[in-house]
Amino acid sequence: MSQNTILDKILIKGKIKLLTGLHIGASNDFAPIGAVDSIIVRNPIDKRPIIPGSTLKGKMRNLLAKANSSSPILDSLKKDSEEIKRLFGASSPEIIASRLQFCDSFLLEESVEELKDKTDLYLTEIKFENTINRTTAVANPRQLERVPMGAEFSFSLIYNLEDEVELYEDFENISKGLKLLHMDYIGGSGSRGYGKIQFYNFSVLPQNITNKSYEIDVNKLQQILEESEEYVLSL
């Protein structure tokens, strides 16, 4: 595996606002009678809801691959375009290191204060869902845990600057991924209206940690990301 050197690391920061309730499930090996059937993933230390970086990375890559594919059926990861591979990484047919590192997103303190002592569970609500057997018409009710609409999370994404020429194309693809996410969903039950989100309040922060010389237009990079806000779903 050959690896490119880096000119710098660029920190992209922002916020994620939930436009509808969010359910990103966690395992629940023990479910006593009357308990919620499907719980959410939480930080094990403070028990606050989180959005795993893997959720954002996986959904963004999948949406970009679907949008960029010329085939009616999505190919395997190894058939992704070079632009996607260099952002998200690849292991076949050659190993390519990802230029993006997604961070877990944590519930903002303002949302913690707003939600605590007001929800069914700690910082979350219980949503009752139902499926009906078409043959017997018997209902199968269940309870899902959700982070309520309006809650806000941190958003942090680290970009490895390897090539000044490819930088702007990479940011255009990141912005395209954000646009697609705005018009889609994360987590479960998206076809039922869950998981609609909004990215906003972007900042682009070169870290200047390698002492290598390079020239980039930070304002242009920020404008590219801010263009994705025009695609926020109005509910």
The predicted model scores a pTM of 0.89
DSSP string, 64-88: HHHHH--SSS---GGGS-HHHHHHH
Report whether pLDDT(214) > 90: yes
Rg (CA), the chain: 20
Instruction: Please list, in sequence order, all residues whose beta carbon lies within 8 angstroms of the beta carbon of residue 3, skipping any fewer than 6 positions away.
Output: 97
**Contact call for residues 72 and 81 (beta carbons, < 8 A):** no
Burial 198-215 (b: 16+ CB within 10 A, else e): bbbebebebeeeeeeeee
- pLDDT tens digit string along 18-58? 999 999 987 654 444 445 668 899 999 999 999 999 999 99
The pLDDT tens digits for 78-133 are 778 899 999 998 887 788 899 999 999 999 999 999 999 999 999 999 998 777 87
- Of the two residues 25 and 59, the one the predictor is more confident about is 59
What is the CB neighbour count within 10 angstroms for residue 231? 16
The residue among 44, 61, 60 whose CA lies nearest residue 106 is 44
